[in-house]
């Protein structure tokens, strides 16, 4: 019962049954409208003619015989009735007799009106169309013309074939139902495949795919499933790669630390070199700390919702520069400010601060000494456009699309001696994405790199501006 | 306000006893038609002038005058009968009777009303305050009644017996064989005869009026009066039989039909009053005044005049 095929099949069968029922009712209606109406007209016509032969006063034997003679040759059954008992003349009295016409009909007839009845008549034990016309003299109902035609002649025909009709209707409905079921099963086969695939996916088999056989909704669903599966698989792969990279990144400093500490412990290191070794150990430990901090940041930020508010871009940039002034001084770098001081964005201040730190740190890291770092902030449509330009080593064009990937290295040969965790830009990209902003890079090797950050302007600022 | 509500509820409780119909002057002689198709009573004077019409709320099927001043109305379908005072038109009493009442007679001598009931097949005797005095079981479907000399003569409509009941002792004293589906009974005191008409059984329509000896019940005469003579009246010189099957009024002298008059459409009631014959046509809704064996006046009535009630 839960299968769609069964449900649709049932729906179709129901529709067929309703249609058959409707057709039957319609046929019945047309039969009654056309055939019965036709018979009624014919009976009334004959009745009117016979009625005109009646002259006032009691209905005579001759008249009764006349009608009887007509009856012999007519297709219809016609007779004149003059027994007052049959005409409900005794109505106020209980005469224990089933009269031919009822008291209400008698009233109609006395007024000179005729009436038609369709249905079962007990006296004749069959279904009839009956037309009764009065033979009335003034207000005296002297008699009636009782005319009828058995409906049975038509319904009997139908009843004879009704059995076959019913059987064929049942067989037809059954066949249609079977056909529907087969077709529906065929149509819904991909659905079952899809269901199996979903179960496999749930069980962790991310390489599961379904074959797309058609372009219909089911086909589209299969296609969408495959896309989703691919996406999940990529996500899963990325996760695995990330973990592998993290392990790898950690392994190098750990092996350094382990190796040097072993040497120290066993006393193989001459005293004058011990200090140098300890510095190496400390440096590697610092790198591990940075790495784990960055990972923690990534993970924690993923879990925490944004805490949005108004952020003054100029102020924030200066604050970040202040935080990094030591590093700037070390390399004798200086910042060129081109700021729109009124710039307000709608953002999570701590995350924007972190991402700016990461970007400016990179600029510092890859700048040649004594060079300027240009920081521009202005309006670009609905965004605040922040540019951080260094005159550093630049990034080769083929590496540009990958710089935000976790642990991606522009210079594959380079060690971590430059102090990067390999996650800085990944964090930046993630934060900007969270803010529905954009991050693009513009770089010429050995000339410099410009990072373009676009973050949504604060609505109030926007309105004020307009 | 409280008292008005109380009064209204009391009024409703007693079935709107305050219902009043147009009065009929005490000295006014009249013929009244009880119309049963749309229930009403119409009072006419001897010239056929309509005196007044009582539109009734219930379908009463029969009426009888009590002491010439009150009209007693009963219904075949209702378990109640009512009494109206003619002079005031006020409903003065309501009696509880069983449903199935087919006829009523006023017995002035014993100050009682006699009702026939076809559902219990009994003849009921009621004092004039509506308390029941006695129930006399009779044959199947008692209906037509006549009385003479402290005896009530009851036709058992769906039976072949006429029951004679002593009105004082309320006992069946004798039974006479009659035709089934007899209806219409008249007693000729002078000739000591009972005249009985009838519908006839089943598809057969009765055509005969039977005359029985009032003392012995022996059949004295059979008079053909087709079709379905259902009511009989008499004048000092003639009897008149109304046959509703062929709308015929037969005038009879010495057990011979001396004249047949076609009158009305499906007439059920005939009466002799103020030296003229009266016939009510049920289907044509006309009250006919007949004198010298000819129709002298036609008066339209409401729907279904079924019974004639006269007061001299």
Hey, is the C-beta of B260 within 8 angstroms of any chain A C-beta?
no
CB-based contact B284 A92, cutoff 8 Å: no
The whole-number pLDDT of residue B5 equals 56
Question: Which chain B residue is nearest to residue A107, measuring alpha carbons?
Answer: B283
pLDDT grade for B53, boundaries at 50, 70 and 90: very high
Whether B295 and chain A come into contact, CB under 8 Å, resolves to no
Chain B residue numbers touching A96 (CB-CB < 8 A): 158, 202
Which chain A residues have a beta carbon less than 8 Å from that of B227? Answer: 84
Mean pLDDT of A421-449: 85
- Give SS3 for A22: helix
pLDDT, mean of residues B131-155: 95
pLDDT, tens digit, for every residue of A121-165? Answer: 888 888 888 999 999 998 899 999 999 988 765 556 666 677 787
Mean pLDDT of chain B: 92
Residue of A nearest to B244 (CA): A89
Domain boundaries, chain A: 4-156, 306-465
**pLDDT mean over B132-137:** 95
Asked if pLDDT for residue A422 goes beyond 80, the answer is: no
**Which range is least confidently modeled, A177-181, A239-243, A376-380, B157-161?**
A239-243
**Pairwise CB contact (< 8 Å): B266 & A89:** yes
* pLDDT above 60: residue A462: no
Domains of chain B: 58-177 (2.130.10.10)
CATH 3.30.450.20, domain A4-156, yes or no = yes
Q: What is the pLDDT of residue A418?
A: 55
Q: Is the peptide bond prior to B227 cis by the omega test (within 30 degrees of 0)?
A: yes
Residue of A nearest to B307 (CA): A92
Chain B residues within an 8 Å CB radius of A140: 247, 265-266, 283-284
Average of per-residue pLDDT across A398-406: 81
Note the Cα B242 to chain centre separation in Å.
Answer: 14
CB-based contact B199 A84, cutoff 8 Å: no
Q: For chain A, how many residues are written?
A: 466
Is the pLDDT at B179 greater than 80? The verdict is yes
Give the torsion sign (CA, A417, A418, A424, A425). Answer: negative
Q: What is the pLDDT of residue A460?
A: 46
In a 10 Å sphere around its CB, with 0-12 CB exposed, 13-18 middle and 19+ buried, how is residue B160 labelled?
middle
> In chain A, what residues touch B265 (CB-CB under 8 Å)?
110, 138-141
pLDDT, residue A420, reads 63
- The Cα–Cα gap between B268 and A95 comes to 14
> ipTM score of the complex?
0.87
Q: Is the predicted pLDDT of residue B163 greater than 80, yes or no? A: yes
Cβ within 8 Å, pair A139-B265: yes
Q: Is 60 exceeded by the pLDDT of residue B3?
A: no
Residues of chain A with Cβ-Cβ distance to B286 below 8 Å are: 139
Any residues with CB less than 8 A from the CB of B256 and at least 6 apart, and which? B223
Mutate to test the interface with B, among A95, A104, A105 (most CBs of B within 10 A): A95
State both tokens at B208. Answer: 């005969």
Over residues A6-30, mean pLDDT: 84
Which member of A84, A94, A138 has the closest CB to residue B228? A84
Closest to A96 (Cβ–Cβ): which among B158, B205, B227? B158
Distance between CA atoms of B234 and B255, rounded to whole angstroms?
12
B9 vs A43, more confident: A43
Strand ranges (E), A97-139 = 115-121, 126-137
Tens digit of each residue's pLDDT (9 = 90 or more) over B83-105: 999 999 999 999 999 999 999 99
Distance between CA atoms of residues B188 and B200, nearest Å: 23
Instruction: Compute the distance between CA of residue B180 and CA of residue B202 in angstroms, rounded to an integer.
Output: 10
Confidence of residue A464 (pLDDT cuts 50, 70, 90): very low
- Orientation of helix A61-73 relative to helix A37-52, angle to 10°: 140
Contact at CB, A92 and B244, closer than 8 angstroms? no
User: Chain B contacts of A98, Cβ < 8 Å?
Assistant: none
Cβ contacts below 8 Å, chain A against chain B, sum to 63
- CB contact at 8 A, A180 and A173: no
Residue B247 has its nearest CB partner, among A96, A97, A140, at: A140
Instruction: Verify whether the Cβ–Cβ distance B266 to A140 is below 8 Å.
Output: yes
Whole-angstrom Cα distance, residue B228 to residue B270? 14
Q: Do B284 and A139 touch (CB under 8 A)?
A: yes
User: Which helix H or strand E contains A233, and what residues bound it?
Assistant: helix A217-266
The answer, for B205 touching chain A at a CB cutoff of 8 Å, is yes
Residue A302: pLDDT band (50, 70, 90) is: low
Higher pLDDT, A455 or A6: A455
Q: Which fold has domain A306-465?
A: Heat Shock Protein 90 (3.30.565)
Question: Is residue A300 scored above 50 in pLDDT?
Answer: yes
The overall average pLDDT reported for chain A is 84
Closest CA of chain B from A33, distance in Å: 35
- Give the burial string for B200-219 (b: 16+ CB within 10 Å, else e): bbeeebbbbbbbbebeebee
From chain A, the residues in CB contact with B305 under 8 A are none
pLDDT of residue B133: 94
pLDDT of residue B127: 95
Q: Which residues 6+ apart lie within 8 Å of A290 measured at CB?
A: A419, A421
Q: Do B203 and A85 touch (CB under 8 A)?
A: yes
What residues in B contact A139, CB-CB < 8 Å?
A: 265, 281, 283-286
Using the Cβ of B281 and the Cβ atoms of chain A, whether some distance falls under 8 Å is answered with: yes
**pLDDT at position B240 over 50:** yes
pTM greater than the 0.80 cutoff: no
Instruction: List CB contacts (< 8 A) between A83 and chain B.
Output: 203, 205
- Residues 6+ away with beta carbon under 8 Å from A285: A253, A257
Most confident of A303-307, A339-343, B252-256: B252-256
Asked if the model's pLDDT at residue A28 lies above 80, the reply is no
Q: Looking at beta carbons, which residues of chain B come within 8 Å of A90?
A: 199, 228, 244
Q: Whole-angstrom Cα distance, residue A392 to residue A371? A: 8
Locate A258 and state its tokens: 């382990």
Q: List CB contacts (< 8 A) between A84 and chain B.
A: 205, 227-228, 244-246, 266
| CA distance to partner chain B, nearest, from residue A163 (Å) | 41
* B284: contact with A, CB 8 A cutoff: yes
B183, B203, B206, B279, best to mutate vs chain A, most A CBs in 10 Å: B203
d(CA A344, CA A311): 6
Contact residues, chain B, for A60 at CB < 8 Å: none
The closest CB to that of B183, out of A58, A84, A93, belongs to A93
* Closest by Cβ to A141, choosing from B200, B230, B283: B283
- Residue B168 CB coordination number (10 Å): 13
Strand partners, A79: A146
Name the DSSP class of B25: -
Q: Choose among A89, A96, A110: nearest Cβ to B245.
A: A89
Residue A242 pLDDT greater than 80, yes or no: no
Angle at A142 between CA A137 and CA A148, to 5 degrees: 115
- Residue-wise DSSP of B159-195: SSEEEEEETTTTEEEEEEE--TTEEEEEEETTTTEEE
Per-residue confidence (pLDDT) for residue A461, from 0 to 100: 46
Nearest CA in chain A to B60: A92
Packing angle, helices A152-202 and A4-30, rounded to 10: 160
Secondary structure (DSSP) of A83-121: -TTTTTTTTTS------SS-HHHHHHHHTT--EEEEEEE
* B205, B281, B284 member nearest A84 (Cβ): B205
Give the count of alpha carbons within 13 A of B190, CB side only: 6
Under an 8 A CB cutoff, do A97 and B265 touch?
A: no
């Amino acid at each position: 019962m839960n299968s769609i095929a069964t449900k649709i099949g049932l729906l179709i069968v129901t529709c067929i049954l309703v249609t058959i029922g409707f057709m039957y009712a319609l046929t019945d209606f047309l039969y009654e409208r056309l055939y019965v109406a036709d018979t009624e007209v014919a009976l009334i016509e004959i009745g009117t003619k016979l009625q005109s032969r009646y002259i006032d006063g009691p209905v005579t034997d001759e008249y009764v015989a006349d009608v009887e003679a007509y009856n012999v040759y007519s297709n219809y059954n016609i007779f004149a009735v003059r027994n007052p008992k049959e005409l409900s003349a005794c109505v106020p009295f209980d005469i224990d007799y089933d009269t031919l016409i009822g008291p209400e009909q008698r009233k109609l007839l006395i007024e000179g009106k005729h009436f038609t009845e369709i249905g079962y008549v007990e006296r004749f034990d069959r279904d009839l169309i009956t037309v009764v016309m009065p033979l009335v003299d003034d207000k005296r109902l002297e008699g009636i013309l009782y005319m009828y035609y058995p409906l049975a002649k038509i319904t009997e025909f139908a009843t004879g074939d009704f059995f076959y009709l019913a059987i064929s209707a049942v067989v037809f409905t059954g066949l249609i139902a079977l056909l529907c079921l087969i077709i529906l099963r065929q149509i819904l086969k991909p659905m079952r495949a899809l269901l199996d695939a979903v179960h496999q996916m749930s069980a962790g088999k991310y390489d599961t795919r379904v074959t797309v056989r058609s372009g219909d909704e089911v086909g589209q669903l299969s296609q969408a499933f495959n896309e989703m599966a691919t996406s999940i698989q990529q996500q899963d792969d990325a996760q695995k790669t990330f973990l592998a990279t993290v392990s790898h990144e950690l392994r190098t400093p750990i092996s350094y630390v382990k190796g040097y500490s072993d040497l120290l412990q066993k006393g193989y290191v001459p005293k004058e070199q011990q200090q140098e070794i300890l510095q190496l150990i400390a440096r590697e430990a610092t790198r591990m700390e940075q790495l784990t901090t960055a990972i923690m940041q990534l993970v924690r930020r993923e879990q925490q919702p944004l805490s949005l508010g108004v952020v003054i871009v100029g102020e924030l940039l200066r604050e970040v520069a202040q935080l990094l002034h030591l590093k700037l001084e070390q390399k004798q770098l200086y910042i060129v400010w081109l700021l729109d001081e009124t710039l307000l964005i709608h953002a999570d201040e701590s995350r924007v601060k972190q991402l700016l730190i990461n970007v400016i740190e990179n600029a510092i890291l890859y700048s040649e000494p004594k060079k300027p770092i240009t920081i521009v902030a202005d309006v670009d449509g609905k965004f605040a456009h922040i540019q951080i330009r260094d005159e550093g080593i630049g990034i080769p064009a083929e590496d540009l699309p990958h710089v935000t990937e976790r642990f991606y290295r522009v210079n594959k040969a380079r060690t971590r001696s430059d102090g990067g965790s390999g996650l800085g830009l990944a964090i930046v990209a993630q934060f900007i994405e969270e803010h529905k902003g954009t991050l693009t890079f513009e770089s010429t090797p050995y000339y410099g790199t410009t990072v373009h950050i676009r973050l949504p302007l604060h609505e109030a600022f926007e309105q004020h501006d307009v | 306000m409280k008292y008005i509500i109380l009064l209204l509820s009391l009024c409703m409780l007693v079935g709107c006893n305050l219902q009043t119909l147009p009065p009929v002057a005490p000295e006014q002689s009249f013929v009244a038609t009880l119309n049963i198709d749309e229930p009403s009573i119409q009072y006419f004077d001897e010239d056929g002038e309509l005196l007044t019409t009582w539109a009734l709320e219930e379908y009463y099927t029969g009426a009888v005058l009590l002491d010439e001043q009150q009209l007693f109305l009963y219904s075949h379908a209702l378990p109640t009968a009512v009494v109206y005072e003619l002079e005031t038109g006020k409903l003065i009493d309501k009696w509880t009777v069983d449903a199935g009442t087919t006829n009523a007679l006023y017995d002035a001598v014993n100050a009682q009303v006699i009702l026939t009931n076809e559902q219990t097949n009994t003849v009921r005797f009621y004092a004039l305050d509506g308390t029941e005095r006695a129930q006399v079981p009779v044959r199947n479907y008692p209906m037509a009644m006549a009385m003479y000399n402290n005896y009530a003569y009851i036709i058992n409509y769906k039976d072949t017996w006429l029951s004679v009941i002593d009105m004082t002792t309320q006992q069946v004293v004798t039974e006479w064989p009659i035709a089934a589906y007899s209806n219409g009974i008249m007693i000729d005191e002078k000739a000591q005869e009972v005249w009985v008409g009838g519908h006839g059984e089943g598809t057969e329509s009765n055509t005969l009026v039977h005359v029985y000896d009032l003392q012995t019940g022996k059949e004295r005469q059979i008079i053909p009066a087709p079709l379905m003579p259902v009511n009989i009246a008499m004048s000092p010189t003639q009897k008149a039989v109304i046959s509703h099957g062929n709308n015929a009024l037969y005038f009879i002298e010495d057990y011979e039909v001396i004249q047949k008059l076609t009158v009305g459409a499906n007439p059920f009631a005939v009466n002799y009053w103020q030296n003229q014959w009266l016939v009510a046509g049920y289907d044509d809704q006309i009250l006919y005044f007949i004198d010298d064996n000819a129709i002298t006046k036609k008066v339209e009535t409401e729907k279904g005049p079924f019974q004639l009630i006269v007061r001299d």
